[in-house]
Chain A
């Protein structure tokens, strides 16, 4: 089920209503049923796959506990659990990529082999719930969380519908116990949750899906566009992927909050970052922390010398790239971010010297702005690879990007890219609103600030927001209920 669908608008109130009606003890059962129903709306068969991963990781928890003091046995269970789940993930996600890469390479030396194809669709959310389930196994092994005996409650942890399909990727120590809490209908909390969902829908329906039209018309036809058009499309893709992804997390968090659950924040105004390292502390936080805790640190992190640290960074970011998709473009994207950070680290002493020499104040607003813009430029360059449909397309787009015809530097070029002038105006205004709200949120909770206004201001804002989404949103017959970008992961 998509968040931006009539189905969800009916599903959600019903789930919430029943949730608060039934006795506390069986509420998790209701949520489990609702979550599986939510998932099965995509494809009933893949619910079995999720159930399988759920059961294996649940079992691993019990077996690790049973292993008592035997570290070797514990390691064995962890290994088996990871191996099986990652094998499932690998098969559905990367098998075809691997096979086609192999046959392409072999083809270059004239060896033609028929590779058996794996013709199953990628189960929605598999990268997310697999990682979430595996984090439980690791946490039990490390003693960070106690074993969950209740299979049903554990299954709910893996399948909890608000964050099932595109995150945030929660840790068992944060979410599992919440299912034992008693939640009450609290007016202010429900209002806050709904407002967060509203903000998510605004970002998704008014901004993300609108600029996507322009981005797609450029990125799906790399031969036809040059210079400024490609730059604009790339910056708008930066807007699109941020709005698309963070809106999903916002709707997830808001929906959870309505029922009394707390999910982690997945984005913290990432484009205001002053370095790539900082960017990854503010973008897709739940994934970054997952990789840090379960890959980077086990590899040694930064505790085994600079060279090993750089190696670890590269491994983590290439893996992260691959996690995002089975395509060389994602590998390059990941590697690029790894290299950015390595270069940043290597040049730090030199950069510090220069800053000192020029007497630049790091807290100076202009310097901060420069760092933000520079980081944004680096990130945007990376997005070219992320969005391009293939490596060849990416190369073409980059080559074409530097062919700047200054005579095309006008509005009419912009209009030829798929959006008419009305849509462009709406997009610009909406992005401006997004920017202003982001600025406000640097130091305050926007919702708290909103709550302090009088009822006429508040209700006007609510109604304007709701109708802005209803009027300007990209939905309805004639628009494909565009899926959130991260669903293909």
Chain B
């Protein structure tokens, strides 16, 4: 076997992987329009100063509709962040807490426990996508996917392109920009 017959496929696969990665980023569903810019709210935590928040608010949309972290800080000086997505099942909230604790050391975690009453074995796809697609790939995310999604459906969560490739019809200018990845949420999670 000639050397070039090993090198060429490897380079090709590398080229493919790079393009695939870029396309995955472009095609990904990004929730960027204020005030429902969940992507900014969740992704923003990665851009916040480390250990700067004292409270994490989590659980469900009740939190991000009811608690106004900026007002809390203005009135009491306590800095809080609402780190959650809509109708978030409790099993995902667990991993959201885990994720939050990688970057912050809050003294208090406040949870809306409404989703403990969830009787379905799995949450709806929209709920799962919003919750899982917006956190970065890590062991935490893998565990969250495993617990939220039945085995046969997991592939499109590991590789979001499988789900979002059909967005080719609706790509917007904002899909091609990665500026949002460096943004923080001025509302600290409040909608």
Contact = CB atoms under 8 A, between A and B. Distances in A.
A462 B168 contact: no
Interface stretch (B70-78, B86-94, B155-163, B182-190): B155-163
28 contacts: A185-B1, A187-B1, A187-B5, A420-B169, A422-B169, A459-B12, A459-B15, A463-B15, A463-B16, A466-B16, A467-B23, A470-B23, A470-B161, A470-B165, A471-B23, A471-B27, A471-B168, A472-B165, A472-B168, A473-B165, A475-B162, A476-B156, A476-B162, A476-B165, A476-B166, A477-B156, A478-B163, A479-B166
Interface of A: 6, 185, 187, 420, 422-423, 459, 462-463, 466-467, 470-473, 475-479
Given A187-B1, A471-B165, A477-B162, 16 more contacts: A185-B1, A420-B169, A423-B169, A459-B12, A463-B19, A466-B16, A470-B23, A470-B161, A470-B165, A471-B23, A471-B27, A472-B165, A473-B165, A475-B162, A476-B162, A477-B125
B153 interface: yes
Nearest to B161: A470
Nearest to A5: B155
A478 B15 contact: no
B7 to A, nearest CB: 11
A477 B153 contact: yes
Contacts, number: 44
A312 B5 CA distance: 53
Do most interface residues of chain B lie in helix, strand or loop, or is the interface mixed?
Answer: helix
B5 A477 contact: no
A240 B188 CA distance: 52
Contacts of A6: 155, 162
A466 B161 CA distance: 14
B12 A462 contact: yes
A470 B164 CA distance: 10
Contacts of A479: 166
Contacts of A462: 12
A296 to B, nearest CB: 45
A423 B166 CA distance: 10
A422 B169 CA distance: 7
Q: Which 4 A-B pairs have the closest CB atoms?
A: A187-B5, A422-B169, A476-B162, A471-B168
Contact of A477 (B20, B163, B168): B163
A475 B19 CA distance: 19
Interface string B104-131: 0000000000000000000001000000
A422 B170 CA distance: 10
Nearest to B153: A477
A187 B4 CA distance: 10
Contacts of A467: 19, 23
A187 B161 CA distance: 30
Interface string B27-53: 100000000000000000000000000
A475 B153 CA distance: 13
Contacts of B166: 476, 478-479
Contacts of A422: 168-169
Contacts of B12: 459, 462
Interface in B50-93: none
Contacts of A459: 12, 15
A187 B27 CA distance: 34
A467 B163 CA distance: 15
Interface string B16-28: 1001100100010
B131 to A, nearest CB: 16
A360 B1 CA distance: 58
Nearest to A475: B162
B99 to A, nearest CB: 24
A472 B161 CA distance: 12
A422 B5 CA distance: 40
A1 to B, nearest CB: 13
Contacts of A471: 23, 27, 165, 168
B163 A476 contact: yes
A106 B20 CA distance: 61
Contacts of B163: 476-478
Nearest to A479: B166
A423 B20 CA distance: 22
A463 B15 CA distance: 9
Nearest to A194: B9
A478 B129 CA distance: 13
B111 to A, nearest CB: 30
Contacts of B153: 477
A459 B12 CA distance: 8
